[in-house]
Amino acid sequence: MSIARARVGTHVRRGLVVWGERTRFGLTPNMPFHPGLPPQYTLRLYDSRGKRACGIGSWCELGIRHSWAQMPDLAIGATFGLLSEVKFTVDMDQSFDTNWLLFAFPAVLKTQHAFDPMLLIAILVAFSTSAVILSWAFIPGGLAWKNGLNKRGAVPIPGPRGLPFFGSLFGLSYGLPHRSLARMASRRAATQLMAFSLGSTRAVVASDPRIAHEILTSPHFANRPLKQSVKSLMFGRAIGFAPDGAYWQLLRRIASAHLFRPKHIAAHEARRQVDCGFMIEAMETEQFLNGAVVLRKHLQNAALNNIMGTVFGKRYDMSASSDEVDELRDIVKEGFELLGAFNCSDYLPWLSYVYDPFRIDVRCSALVPRVRKFVMKIIEDHRERQSGNLSHGSDFVDVLLSLSSGEELSEDDTIAILWEMIFRGTDTVALLTEWTMAELVLNPNAQTKLQSELDLVLGVGDKSVNDADVARLPYLQAVVKETLRVHPPGPLLSWARLSTSDVHLSNGMVVPAGTTTMVNMWAITHDPNVWKDPLAFRPERFLDGAGSDDGSINFDVRGVDLRLAPFGAGRRSCPGKNLGLATVGLWVAELVRRFNWVPHESHPVDLTELLKLSCEMKKPLCAVAVPRGGRH
């Protein structure tokens, strides 16, 4: 019999029982069930029906440090072909004695005495594991919510326990976290607020507009948790991740006064038009060559060039291959992958020593010097030609370099701030345009309505659409709002918030300090209690009159009404929302004005989502662009 197969430690009546199996030669003589039984223990052998085994030395006093090896006659005799199963029962003299543990562990570990270091470690591990499992079993929200942290308010925060140690990590690390969280919250009637654990990280998610509003606008949720990749890529000092305080306020003030100021956005209108023109040319070429257009790469090129123009004052010929363009594309792609990767070590720090499938640390360390070199070159160019005067057309590098003394930023901070803008402003704009076009391909009625509006307002001709035109196109705006509702680019509002103190919510719940806090915007915009017929793409709901939900033509998506706030809300809401909306509005208008977009027979539109840094179409949109008659 091999001890590995024995069940050790079952406590029967007052004793410990080990089951063995019949073997040809009886029990293996050195079965290690014997670390040193004190003399008051007796050992008896029974057969499987509990009868005393016959014909053998039926019981035997075991002395301290006796082993089976020293009692081969007993061991062999015990099973000498007679028994199909043997039970060894150790009767204890005391009626309540937990000493059996002392020899149960040695038996499992095959040690010879009770104070073996291995044995002590095993006892420690066993106790702490059982403590973890026991406490996990009784904590809603999982282990990160231990010590009643979810019950600090009058109303406890409900939530799933998840798995011991891991919490809900696995449920969210693959698939679509916004959908999984929405399902979990609605199953537990926890849509207002749900507690859950991501490894050792305590988290809550709100899927209710009222609570979401309280969270996003509270000054106590004005920090963000930092992932490893964010720290390694230097974003801790950029606008999006700098902790609330004087430094962050300075950055927001500078950005609002320059980069995101309405006059500055208007001054860059021509750039949006030019980038759109290049994009349309490239699409025409692809349509001519391939009979269809895969929109994403064109939109990404245009969005990247547009941000490079607005922020860095640099333009590139994205259709040509040059060392600089290739390097830019490469570092941006690598940065997106690293920032978008779901890294379990962010929630289980010890895991990084044994498991790092994305090699986040190594890749970040390799990327940072490349970014530094790339951005520094642009900064040096600006320094060389800097006149000291800012104009409406100045880019963000000019602005940062012209800060007066006292407000000056270090080189590293400047690089981080500029570098972050690429990640915030490129993907979101390209993906929102792609989702909008996908819905228009799938909804030809909406596309025709939009074309009629464009023809009516702009007339038939070659004039480019401008920002003022977009403001006069209510159906276009309704189409973009409806796309933001059905496909919010940041369904969990991109980067989460972190509570800086215990926060009392109006529903009686208290979010403890240091809790990672998310708003599930996707759940809110797909909630039938919030939106009528939420799965349907119906821009009319944002227009006055028949078909309108109570969110009418004036519905503001910029963080006023949390039924649809894809740019977040409160002091950490997206500062680039006006720039983003201006760009997407203009590009969608141009694309729809110039072409009829129809589905491609062998590449049907597939709205399956993939959540990376933003939520994108899993299969890039491919459609046939048929030039509209009368234009060009």
Q: Which two tokens stand for residue 346?
A: 């962010």
Comparing CB distances to ligand HEM, the nearer of 239 and 338 is 239
Residue from the set 104, 432, 450, 582 that interacts with ligand HEM by CB under 6 A: 432
Contact criterion met (CB below 8 Å) for 51 and 16? no
What is the distance in angstroms between the CA of the first residue and the CA of the last residue of the chain? 88
Q: How many Cβ atoms sit within 10 Å of the Cβ of residue 122?
A: 16
Closest of 87, 114, 109, 110 to residue 13, by C-alpha: 87
Is 125 exposed, middle or buried (CB count within 10 Å of its CB: 0-12, 13-18, 19+)? exposed
Comparing CB distances to ligand HEM, the nearer of 153 and 335 is 335
Distance CA(447)–CA(457), nearest Å, equals 15
Comparing CB distances to ligand HEM, the nearer of 92 and 417 is 417
Provide Rg for the chain, Cα atoms.
Answer: 34
Closest residue to ligand HEM in the complex (CB): 568
Q: Residues 230-249 vs ligand HEM: string with x where CB under 6 A?
A: ---------xx---------
Long-range contacts of 132-137 (CB under 8 A, 24+ apart): 132/164, 132/165, 133/164, 136/161, 136/164, 137/161
Comparing CB distances to ligand HEM, the nearer of 92 and 492 is 492
Q: Confirm whether residue 622 is marked as ligand binding.
A: no
Comparing CB distances to ligand HEM, the nearer of 162 and 568 is 568
* Span near ligand HEM by CB under 6 A; candidates 178-186, 357-365, 400-408, 488-496: 488-496
> What is the footprint of ligand HEM within residues 212-231 (CB under 6 A)?
216
Distance CA(431)–CA(437), nearest Å, equals 10
Minimum gap (Å) between residue 490 Cβ and ligand HEM: 4
* Span near ligand HEM by CB under 6 A; candidates 29-37, 268-276, 368-376, 562-570: 562-570
Distance CA(549)–CA(543), nearest Å, equals 8
Comparing CB distances to ligand HEM, the nearer of 111 and 201 is 201
Q: Residues 288-317 vs ligand HEM: string with x where CB under 6 A?
A: -------------------x----------
> What is the footprint of ligand HEM within residues 255-284 (CB under 6 A)?
none
- Over 23-89, what HEC string results? CCCCCCCCCCCCCCCCCCCEEEEEECCCCECCCCCCEEECCCCCCHHHCHHHHHHHCCCCCCEEEEE
Q: Please give the full DSSP string across 601-631, using - where no structure is assigned.
A: TTB-----EEESSSEEESS--EEEEEEPTT-
- Alpha-carbon distances, residue 238 vs 242, 412, 617 (angstroms): 6, 10, 28
Minimum gap (Å) between residue 560 Cβ and ligand HEM: 13
Distance CA(341)–CA(228), nearest Å, equals 11
Judging by DSSP bridges, how do beta strands 293-294 and 201-206 pair with one another? unpaired
Minimum gap (Å) between residue 558 Cβ and ligand HEM: 10
> What is the footprint of ligand HEM within residues 104-163 (CB under 6 A)?
none
Provide the 8-state DSSP code for 346: G
Is 320 exposed, middle or buried (CB count within 10 Å of its CB: 0-12, 13-18, 19+)? exposed
Minimum gap (Å) between residue 480 Cβ and ligand HEM: 9
Minimum gap (Å) between residue 228 Cβ and ligand HEM: 19
* Span near ligand HEM by CB under 6 A; candidates 164-172, 446-454, 485-493, 538-546: 485-493
* Span near ligand HEM by CB under 6 A; candidates 54-62, 202-210, 492-500, 550-558: 492-500
Is residue 566 near ligand HEM by the rule CB under 6 A? yes
* Span near ligand HEM by CB under 6 A; candidates 174-182, 312-320, 425-433, 508-516: 425-433
Is residue 493 near ligand HEM by the rule CB under 6 A? yes
Is residue 421 near ligand HEM by the rule CB under 6 A? yes
Q: Which two tokens stand for residue 349?
A: 């720090």
Comparing CB distances to ligand HEM, the nearer of 309 and 576 is 576
* Span near ligand HEM by CB under 6 A; candidates 4-12, 64-72, 175-183, 491-499: 491-499
Comparing CB distances to ligand HEM, the nearer of 153 and 425 is 425
Is residue 178 near ligand HEM by the rule CB under 6 A? no
Minimum gap (Å) between residue 432 Cβ and ligand HEM: 4
Residue from the set 490, 491, 512, 539 that interacts with ligand HEM by CB under 6 A: 490
Comparing CB distances to ligand HEM, the nearer of 86 and 492 is 492
Residue type, 408: E
Q: How many Cβ atoms sit within 10 Å of the Cβ of residue 553?
A: 14
Q: Residues 569-608 vs ligand HEM: string with x where CB under 6 A?
A: x--xxxxx--xx---x------------------------
Residue type, 352: S
Minimum gap (Å) between residue 110 Cβ and ligand HEM: 56
Residue from the set 429, 465, 518, 592 that interacts with ligand HEM by CB under 6 A: 429
Comparing CB distances to ligand HEM, the nearer of 363 and 572 is 572
Is residue 568 near ligand HEM by the rule CB under 6 A? yes
Distance CA(159)–CA(372), nearest Å, equals 43
Residue ranges of the alpha helices (H) in 188-322? 209-217, 228-232, 246-257, 262-267, 269-290, 295-307
Residue type, 287: Q
Is residue 18 near ligand HEM by the rule CB under 6 A? no
Comparing CB distances to ligand HEM, the nearer of 27 and 579 is 579
Is residue 494 near ligand HEM by the rule CB under 6 A? yes
Distance CA(372)–CA(360), nearest Å, equals 18
Size of the site for ligand HEM (CB under 6 A): 28
Distance CA(172)–CA(194), nearest Å, equals 14
Distance CA(25)–CA(75), nearest Å, equals 10
* Span near ligand HEM by CB under 6 A; candidates 397-405, 505-513, 563-571, 620-628: 563-571
Residue from the set 140, 177, 489, 539 that interacts with ligand HEM by CB under 6 A: 489
Contact criterion met (CB below 8 Å) for 267 and 257? no
Q: Residues 61-80 vs ligand HEM: string with x where CB under 6 A?
A: --------------------
Annotated binding site for heme: 574
Annotated binding site: 574
Q: Which residues in this chain contact ligand HEM in the complex, by CB under 6 A?
A: 216, 239-240, 252, 307, 421, 424-425, 428-429, 432, 489-490, 493-495, 566-569, 572-576, 579-580, 584
